[in-house]
Structure 1
């Protein structure tokens, strides 16, 4: 049950002030720590339906309800706290308990009767799970004449009893050397009676204080209330349109596995130390209120002042709001949040979207879960599973028929090794999600599991290079004799290391058990909160041995692999990378020996793309060359390269060579910086204009050279090349080399039509020889036609 009330009884008699052999703390202190650990967990959970009360037996004083009703009875029993939600005050009170708190003799059976009376009187008619935890010794005599009545009351009210014995447990008592035989007889009798009582009461258990203390100081799993996260129907088909051919199964969905998180932290501030209560703010004898140091966010909307409405009159310091550090503003400038409209940026324009328009654009959905189809379990990659895992159970209102349908579906999926693809909507008008339903089969359990999967747009494919082969750009596959591939010796060494690290081959099987592996962040945070709540100056407790155990290697494995690890370090050439220390500098500060660059002297992007000719022309222009008649040098920019290219060709100056060089550089730059096919259309347009102009202006060689460089960059021989799509565009447009039939340029005198066709068909990687111009690939001593004509003249 989620509603629970627990009564803790601690015997503070003389026997509890002793220490057990091998223990450093007295028994009463260990008992207090057991109670405080349980209360601390309840305090962190902060559940209002988890109540407790604490009763001490054997105190010097008497303070309990039964002693008031029956004077002379139930003496030396004190109710430390009534039934309440545990708070920090109760923990601080218990932390001050010492071995001198009690030392008075009392009948612990009276304390048990008192606890039963309080639980029945206050929570007897409520649907609470009731429990009594009794921590006591067996040295003091106990009146067992009321044991039958106590047993009957425990059974009638369904109260669970947990007896924690300081010197006994369910198996017997702990005898000490030179112990008085009378005390041993009393301990034997008390142990047998406690054993008989626990055996005859359903749910009653007995532990030794050592077991309880180790359990309190150890790791514990968090109890979670099983609350359904979805109540609705699992639809097979469309029950609205095809009611006779569809099926709607009433289901409840519960979280089966979820991420555990550390307690959320809140902001804390000391600025509220100056705040006073509102009633006392105007009085001269006001005192600071009790502070929580909490920080709350307050959001206000004001109309921004125009620059023209501001005056140069400074605001007096006394008129500023020093507490909130806000400038003084008129309250009339504040705007009610309900009067505001949402705007969204569309480029540089803000577009207003009203609430009606936003509601109209919102997808209208209805709550439920619909099966879209079935697929093989192997068709769903493991890394596609997102978020939490939920268990689908039958609706308790229709448990029999819905449970039968769920069991049949689970068994069918299990036998076919299949899963169901479903569409899931948590509540009406919420975003739909896709998920899979898989069978959850156990002993006498036939249920379903749900897990969310991503949409296609949410999946990003990452390609990683193979670890056992390397594919060259030419398409050749290398599987050995490469610096990036492991040698057979490396593979054998790693296989031996993995075999030697097998945990099943060691004797200590308690190491690295998943069920005993806890989150260190959560445990350390909770422990720190408990410790500092009682004492703000207390040091953080040491790390639990269980957590240290999971962080250290087993000595047996460490010794077994010591020599082999040294061999692996030498074989794999493992070297330690020294961490470079980053120099600390202020924001915007230059380092030692560095100077701040003058941005006015930096080269612009257009100039970088334009090439060296434009730089030379710009330098000459700065030098005062009288031949330059233009104040601004023409260049080709990425904004409109075709227009700039044609403008340079039509210029009065001879800028053909510069235009061709800049266009070639710009095309290669656009291909390098293109995100996917972002610049493909622009490059294609530039190539067409470039080709036509190069054929007319005797610059065909420069165009062909640009195509060769472009082919090398695309690398069509590689099937995984990211630029193969552009190469296919070139093939589709038949945009190839300029041949000797298209231009009179000597640089293409040996380029035939067949060469241009083969250039697009041949997808082999470009080599340096293929990029050499025809006049360079021939004999260097061969003269061109122009040189021969010049000699004849």
Structure 2
């Protein structure tokens, strides 16, 4: 199997590693842990890891067992295996050795680091043998300890013969540049440089290696073609005159998916918690003379597919399905060429696919693709193609568009929708283009100019530096929870601030324009309304007045509990659920005063009061219910103005105006219209209420409400030629 890897990490755990002021050992351990975490998350069986600790009090390796007295103080945590979460947990418990007695000359004794490298070579050569592996040893250590370099040449030959690369991550590499660097450090680095130079390795600084593990990077994807075949100019199945071009296609863009979850059981006590899904089909059969039904299991091969045709299920057998299936053959054929302006950008809804030359006549195919791409670019056209990925697959309609780069022109493929895939909506604009004033256009132009990203650094929000924050947080949470089940979900890294927060430079440029736009467009902040709202929560300065209660007669017993006394507290205590026609105002205020309801009591009470008002008017014999309807409207208007629900009242009062039939001069309903004027129950203006839904209802607009003859707006031409017949409206024709 190709791309197999074998990596051995050697970590110096001697006490000297804990003496550095900048926590060298912790950074070394964290660098190894981060590297292994990525491998565990990827879950590749061919990416093997081994961890070796050098400088431990105990000895645990195969070479020490076979040759007593040698390779001591070296412990192999794990042989070359696929890394697991248990290895990460074991690494989190690794610490440096305890402080030992220092020698009289002050020089730290040999830590057998070269012996640890020999142990790593033995582990790799034993497991990989002569198979094709990418073999590597990574050493994390300092160089202030003396090392026995007598076997340097032998170790170098072992590395060459086994094709093993060595990377040294030095905790004190920067000391080489200092004039006060000790001779021991210089000598060790000279020998390391000689050894690593013989096996094409590298020497890195610990800070640089640690910083590399903190970088967010994109996963490298193996270049596997998504389609192998021919691009035909002219279909080979329709005529004999066609030109085949050998192609391979590769996905350029594809939406990243989060790690998939597995179904496991929390009750399992064995080595595995995996849960297998078992599906069975049950048929309910009614037994004669019995009320209950019996269940009979049906085998899968006895089940047929059915399609709904209205309320009828139409059964279709597998044979009939196979006969109705469209027979297609694998191809990508150019149907024709269209101007690029005829293909809207929103129709490119699929992933981008790059076309390259295939394995047949590579040079000629490459020239043909480049020539076609350049010709499409010069003529400003796209190629319309019919694409079938495999024999029997569903045909797709796509386009080939050209892209010029520094190397050569290339072709990109995109799926485009069929007519049934396109959602055709008729959306109304808030303002006609001809009605846009010059000041608005100037403000918007200034806003766009001030937020131009070309004024900032070229790397700001560059595609190569924008990563998916959800994927990063998801993977980081999995890594953290694997080591600590009670760890909190990590916050987003500050490196994602550019995607979520306005850049300070841009913010400073738009401050002046922001104020002008708020004033010009009369923009106000929308007050969010919670799911549950009690009366008086928005405007506490205007509480409910007891003087608004006209009488306390009994309410309709069919809609609320019986009330023993004629007081508002009694209504509240009985928990009014509805508003009757007898004492609607009292019950309306009683419902508003409730605090035990999970619903928005203001919205609920206003809806019920609306129904009561319309019912009173429709059931009124003459003007018998007019006064009661007026008192309901007065209570509703006051509440709606106080609770930012003015748009509801304005629509209700318009409905009442329509009910008055003012177009008939002798209409008896004009009496209530007169009563509305006398009580001032017109529309609520934007000066009386902060409801953003009535920001356009000025005093002038409210005054026009009292005009009995309304001005008709000119009718706009409505072209419904594109509308299609809706089968759901068929019943309306009868």
TM-score where L is the length of structure 1? 0.62
Measured against aligned partners, the alpha-carbon deviations of 1:421-455 in whole angstroms (never above 9, x if no partner) come to 22211222111111122335434455432221111
Q: Distance in 2 between matches of 1:495 and 1:93?
A: 60
* Structure 2 partner of 1:789: none
Taking a change above 3 Å as real, the CA distance of residues 336 and 131 of structure 1, as seen in their structure-2 partners, is: same
Taking a change above 3 Å as real, the CA distance of residues 158 and 464 of structure 1, as seen in their structure-2 partners, is: farther
**Offset of residue 133 of structure 1:** 2.3
Taking a change above 3 Å as real, the CA distance of residues 488 and 102 of structure 1, as seen in their structure-2 partners, is: farther
The one of 499, 505, 514 equivalent to 2:449 is 499
Tell me the secondary structure at the aligned position of residue 173 of structure 1. Answer: helix
Say if 1:344 and 1:350, in contact at 8 Å, map to a contact too: yes
Tell me the secondary structure at the aligned position of residue 305 of structure 1. Answer: strand
Measured against aligned partners, the alpha-carbon deviations of 1:363-385 in whole angstroms (never above 9, x if no partner) come to 11122322212233343221111
Measured against aligned partners, the alpha-carbon deviations of 1:379-427 in whole angstroms (never above 9, x if no partner) come to 3221111221122223346544433433343343344443322221122
* Structure 2 partner of 1:558: 507
**Offset of residue 576 of structure 1:** 0.7
Q: Is there any run of 5+ residues in structure 2 with no aligned partner, and where?
A: 101-108, 535-558, 561-571, 581-617, 622-711, 725-734
Tell me which structure has the larger Cα radius of gyration.
1
Q: Distance in 2 between matches of 1:724 and 1:299?
A: 47
The one of 522, 527, 531 equivalent to 1:578 is 527
Q: Is there any run of 5+ residues in structure 1 with no aligned partner, and where?
A: 274-287, 313-326, 471-478, 598-615, 620-711, 727-793
Say if 1:59 and 1:101, in contact at 8 Å, map to a contact too: no
Q: Is residue 281 of structure 2 the alignment partner of residue 301 of structure 1?
A: yes
Q: Distance in 2 between matches of 1:448 and 1:540?
A: 43
Say if 1:235 and 1:369, in contact at 8 Å, map to a contact too: yes
* Structure 2 partner of 1:605: none
* Structure 2 partner of 1:373: 336
Tell me the secondary structure at the aligned position of residue 284 of structure 2. Answer: coil
* Structure 1 partner of 2:176: 173
Q: 1:517-666 maps to which residues of 2 (within 5 A)?
A: 517-583=466-532, 593-595=576-578
Say if 2:110 and 2:147, in contact at 8 Å, map to a contact too: no
* Structure 2 partner of 1:95: 92
* Structure 2 partner of 1:258: 254
**Offset of residue 593 of structure 1:** 4.7
Taking a change above 3 Å as real, the CA distance of residues 543 and 241 of structure 1, as seen in their structure-2 partners, is: closer
**Offset of residue 258 of structure 1:** 0.9
Taking a change above 3 Å as real, the CA distance of residues 402 and 190 of structure 1, as seen in their structure-2 partners, is: farther
Q: Distance in 1 between matches of 2:184 and 2:339?
A: 69
Say if 1:2 and 1:225, in contact at 8 Å, map to a contact too: no
Q: Is residue 291 of structure 2 the alignment partner of residue 342 of structure 1?
A: no
Taking a change above 3 Å as real, the CA distance of residues 225 and 301 of structure 1, as seen in their structure-2 partners, is: same
**Offset of residue 725 of structure 1:** 9.1
Tell me the secondary structure at the aligned position of residue 5 of structure 1. Answer: strand
Tell me the secondary structure at the aligned position of residue 332 of structure 2. Answer: strand
Measured against aligned partners, the alpha-carbon deviations of 1:55-99 in whole angstroms (never above 9, x if no partner) come to 222222222233334433322222211111111111111111123
* Structure 1 partner of 2:388: 425
Q: Distance in 1 between matches of 2:341 and 2:159?
A: 54
Say if 1:12 and 1:57, in contact at 8 Å, map to a contact too: yes
Q: Distance in 2 between matches of 1:117 and 1:205?
A: 21
CA RMSD of the aligned region, Å?
A: 3.6
Q: Is residue 119 of structure 2 the alignment partner of residue 123 of structure 1?
A: no
Say if 2:15 and 2:98, in contact at 8 Å, map to a contact too: no
Q: Distance in 1 between matches of 2:444 and 2:50?
A: 59
Tell me the secondary structure at the aligned position of residue 51 of structure 2. Answer: strand
Taking a change above 3 Å as real, the CA distance of residues 468 and 59 of structure 1, as seen in their structure-2 partners, is: same
Q: Distance in 1 between matches of 2:196 and 2:718?
A: 74
Say if 1:119 and 1:130, in contact at 8 Å, map to a contact too: yes
Q: Distance in 2 between matches of 1:71 and 1:725?
A: 91
Say if 1:29 and 1:99, in contact at 8 Å, map to a contact too: no
Q: 1:668-707 maps to which residues of 2 (within 5 A)?
A: none
**Offset of residue 52 of structure 1:** 1.6
Q: Is residue 16 of structure 2 the alignment partner of residue 15 of structure 1?
A: yes
Tell me the secondary structure at the aligned position of residue 260 of structure 1. Answer: coil
**Offset of residue 117 of structure 1:** 3.2
Q: 1:723-734 maps to which residues of 2 (within 5 A)?
A: none
Q: Distance in 2 between matches of 1:107 and 1:565?
A: 68
Say if 1:58 and 1:102, in contact at 8 Å, map to a contact too: no
**Offset of residue 158 of structure 1:** 4.3
**Offset of residue 300 of structure 1:** 0.9
Taking a change above 3 Å as real, the CA distance of residues 162 and 436 of structure 1, as seen in their structure-2 partners, is: farther
Say if 1:12 and 1:102, in contact at 8 Å, map to a contact too: no
**Offset of residue 596 of structure 1:** 11
The one of 213, 227, 232 equivalent to 2:229 is 232
Q: Is residue 370 of structure 2 the alignment partner of residue 407 of structure 1?
A: yes
Q: Distance in 1 between matches of 2:331 and 2:158?
A: 47
Say if 2:14 and 2:96, in contact at 8 Å, map to a contact too: no
Measured against aligned partners, the alpha-carbon deviations of 1:753-793 in whole angstroms (never above 9, x if no partner) come to xxxxxxxxxxxxxxxxxxxxxxxxxxxxxxxxxxxxxxxxx
Q: Distance in 2 between matches of 1:391 and 1:155?
A: 40
Q: Distance in 1 between matches of 2:243 and 2:722?
A: 50
* Structure 1 partner of 2:719: 721
Measured against aligned partners, the alpha-carbon deviations of 1:506-555 in whole angstroms (never above 9, x if no partner) come to 5x665434322211111111111111111101223343221235433333
Stretch deviating more after TM superposition (569-578 or 367-376) = 367-376
Q: 1:51-70 maps to which residues of 2 (within 5 A)?
A: 51-70=48-67
Q: Distance in 1 between matches of 2:515 and 2:143?
A: 59
Q: Distance in 2 between matches of 1:252 and 1:503?
A: 37
The one of 506, 509, 512 equivalent to 2:461 is 512
Tell me the secondary structure at the aligned position of residue 409 of structure 1. Answer: helix
**Offset of residue 345 of structure 1:** 2.0
* Structure 2 partner of 1:319: none
* Structure 2 partner of 1:289: 270
Say if 1:255 and 1:390, in contact at 8 Å, map to a contact too: yes
Measured against aligned partners, the alpha-carbon deviations of 1:555-602 in whole angstroms (never above 9, x if no partner) come to 3443444344233322221101111222399xxx999755499xxxxx
The one of 139, 142, 148 equivalent to 1:137 is 142
Q: Distance in 1 between matches of 2:277 and 2:16?
A: 55
Say if 2:39 and 2:83, in contact at 8 Å, map to a contact too: yes
Say if 2:110 and 2:148, in contact at 8 Å, map to a contact too: no
* Structure 1 partner of 2:26: 29
Say if 2:339 and 2:380, in contact at 8 Å, map to a contact too: yes
Tell me the secondary structure at the aligned position of residue 546 of structure 1. Answer: helix
The one of 244, 250, 265 equivalent to 1:248 is 244
**Offset of residue 197 of structure 1:** 4.6
Q: Is residue 185 of structure 2 the alignment partner of residue 205 of structure 1?
A: no
* Structure 2 partner of 1:112: 117
* Structure 1 partner of 2:6: 5
* Structure 1 partner of 2:319: 356
* Structure 1 partner of 2:543: none
Tell me the secondary structure at the aligned position of residue 140 of structure 1. Answer: coil
Q: Is residue 63 of structure 2 the alignment partner of residue 71 of structure 1?
A: no
* Structure 2 partner of 1:742: none
Q: Is residue 414 of structure 2 the alignment partner of residue 451 of structure 1?
A: yes
Q: Distance in 1 between matches of 2:369 and 2:68?
A: 62
Say if 1:230 and 1:426, in contact at 8 Å, map to a contact too: yes
* Structure 1 partner of 2:345: 382
